[in-house]
Structure formats: C-alpha cells, structure tokens
Amino acid sequence: MKHIFYSLVLLLSLSACKENPSGEDGAMTSTPEKQRDSVQDFAIVIHGGAGTILKENMTDSLETAYEAKLTEAIQTGYKILQNGGTSLEAVQRTINVMENSPLFNSAKGAVFNHEGKNELDASIMDGKTLNAGAVAGVTNIKNPINLANEVMVNSEHVLLSGKGAEEFAEEQGLEIVDPSYFFTQKRYDALQRTLEQEKTAKKDTKTAFYDPFIKDDKYGTVGCVALDKNGNLAAGTSTGGMNNKRYNRIGDSPIIGAGTYANNKTCGVSSTGWGEYFMRGLVAYDISAMMEYGGKSLKEATDAVIQKKLTNMGGTGGIISLDNNGNVSMEFNTPGMYRAYMNDKGELQLGIYKELQK
Ligand code: ASP
C-alpha cells in the first residue's frame, strides 16, 4: 500500500515538473503561463523618440512620412502577433522597419558622435524568462536589435560592446555593413551645427556637451513593446544615442532596467530621452517594480515615474509600455513623442505631439 502511495506521489511531481519547464532554460523566476483572461489577447506599442517635436517646425510631408513609417512598423509587428508569432519576433521585426528608415535616430539615420562616426546601442528583453541581450557602441551592424537578440539567445552574456560585439555578430552571421551605410545628410548637418555652437559655448561648464540649446538634435531612438497570444511580453530599444557624444559614451538604451525592461508579471517598457537621467532613475525597471511591489497599475506607475520622478530629477523623455493585459501607457514630459499603439482588434492610435492624432 505504502509503495503505491509513494509511486503516485512521484508520478504526480514528475508530471508537475514537465508542465513547468521554465527552470530549465536559465530563467531567474518561473513565471507561469498567463491565464488568457486578458483585456487584449495581444497588443503592440512603438515609439520613434521623444523631444521638442512641435507642429510649427514640421512640414506636412514630413509629418505624413513619419505617420506612414510608424504605421508600417506597427503593422509589421501586429501581423506577426495576429498570426500567433512571439512577442520577441514582433519586437525585432517592428524595430527593423524603423532601424532601416532614415527618419529615426537608429541604425540608418543614427546621429553622429563628436568624431563624425555612428555608434549604435540596442537591447531586448524577454518577459517570460527575464532573459536579456544588449549591445553598445557597434559601428557596422545593419540591425543592432538583431544582434542584441543574438546576445540574449546565443551567448551567456547580457551586454557586449564595440569590437567584441562586432566579432560576435560576424560569428553569428548577422548582416555587416560599411559604416558609411549609416550616413544621412540631416544628421551630419546637425553635428556640424552643434560643433559650431560648441565653439561659442562656455568651455568650462560641465553641461556644455549637453547644452539645452543643442539637445534637441539628440532624440529619435526607436522602441517596441509587444504582448503575444501566449501572454508573453517583450520589449526592445535601438538608438544612435546622442548627437555629438564623446568618449564612447553609452546611454540608457542598452541598459536593461533603464532603457528596456520586460516581465510577464508586470509590464514591458522601452524608454527614450536624456539617457543619463533614465539610467540614474532606472526608469524602465522602476515602473515594473512599482507594479510588482507597490501594487500600482501601469498608468499609476508610468505617471509617477515619468511625470514626477524623472521630471523632478530634471530628465526629459518618455516611455511606451504595455502591462500583461495589453493595457497601454505612452507617457512623456517633452512636447512630443512619435508613438503608435494597436490592440487585438487592429485599432490604431497614433501620435506625434501632445494629443493623439488617430
Ligand atoms: N535615450 C537615448 C540615449 O540617451 C537617446 C534617445 O532616446 O533619444 O542614448
């Protein structure tokens, strides 16, 4: 009798292990598959940077071009999710569309550093496993978000930088381009203007490099957060960093917890703005932590972190985020942020300035 009882217990515990294999893939926490009682079966949100984006400085044709590219990008991810694809896949392909567009400060269209080079940063995070990958200061990778994903999936590391990251990219067979691929006249001219302004700026101020007068040229990062039909959240961010950056400066975008964060228990976040503040405020993780430990809703957490904490620190920028029910928050304290959201019914919200346009 005792024998039968112990065999039964063993059998039951074995089958329980099989149902929850998340411990086997190196997950830090075992997050159970979400109950599919969501508000949204799946959802996706993107940004194309935050800053002083004003209607009066925008031409109709440029506005149309941004709207079209944001729509194309979000629909790319939407279709993947609609067809049952993963949130990680949706995040990468959506970001690829924006990385390949000269409109954004990311890959093609990235800002120039002080020496006239493009140095790219990106990161991605899987909300199911809390696994993450990131790259910083790469100069010849066509789509840095894909390399961040390779770091997450095919290395034991989280963040690779510079030459080493580029060597890893070659090993993984990623598309390598000549650095001249990233050149755009608009960004080059922006650097020249900044260099001119620097000549007359006070040399001794610690903030001369980040002079508020010239800071608008440094925005335009791209990011995406997606929730798939299995309830898995993923988030990613890709950027050229800040115009006129020096000394191999690295911003928040490749820093997990600052520029990117995803956790199925709470939310996914991608940040854009003045990276030094996002790093010091650990903005993306802070939002998740307020939800996890403080019981806040996504709206409450993003409002507290962006409108109060970041603003009080003097930081500028914004975030896009989804909670694990597909609720969205697109919060920013700058005049504008390129952004779009689609729910599972295919309804699109799109905005550039304070108010949503669609
Ligand atoms: N956060 C980025 C950085 O500091 C810039 C941006 O989002 O525009 O590198």
Catalytic residues: 221
Q: What's this model's pTM, rounded to 2 decimal places? A: 0.88
CA of 247 to the centre of ligand 1 (A): 16
What is the share, in percent, of the chain residues with pLDDT greater than 70? 84
The residues spanned by each domain of the chain are 43-353
Nearest-angstrom CA–CA distance, 307 and 259: 17
What are the pLDDT digits (tens) for 274-304? 999 999 999 999 999 999 999 999 999 999 9
pLDDT value at position 202?
Answer: 60
CA-closest candidate to residue 332, choices 305, 313, 294:
305
103, 111, 221, best to mutate for ligand 1 pocket (most atoms within 8 Å of CB): 221
Instruction: Identify which of 175, 105, 187 has the alpha carbon closest to the alpha carbon of residue 140.
Output: 175
How far apart, in whole angstroms, are the C-alpha atoms of residue 242 and residue 217?
A: 8
Strand intervals (E) in the chain: 43-51, 120-126, 131-138, 159-161, 222-227, 233-239, 260-262, 267-273, 317-323, 328-332, 336-342, 348-351
- For ligand 1, atom 8, the nearest C-alpha belongs to 219
pLDDT (tens digit per residue) in 234-265: 999 999 999 999 999 999 999 999 999 999 99
Ranking 20-34, 206-220, 306-320, 326-340 by mean pLDDT, the lowest is: 20-34
Q: What are 85-144's pLDDT values in tens digits?
A: 999 999 999 999 999 999 999 999 999 999 999 999 999 999 999 999 999 999 999 999
What are the helix and strand counts (H, E) for the chain? 10, 12
Measured CA to CA, the distance from residue 229 to residue 252 in angstroms comes to: 29
- How far apart CA 241 and CA 260 sit, in angstroms, is 14
Q: Residues near ligand 1 with C-beta < 6 Å?
A: 49, 105, 218-221, 239, 241-242, 251-253, 272-273, 275
**Please, which pLDDT band fits residue 266 given cuts at 50, 70 and 90?**
very high
* CA nearest neighbour of 326 among 29, 30, 20, 34: 34
CATH fold, domain 43-353, is Glutamine Phosphoribosylpyrophosphate, subunit 1, domain 1 (3.60.20)
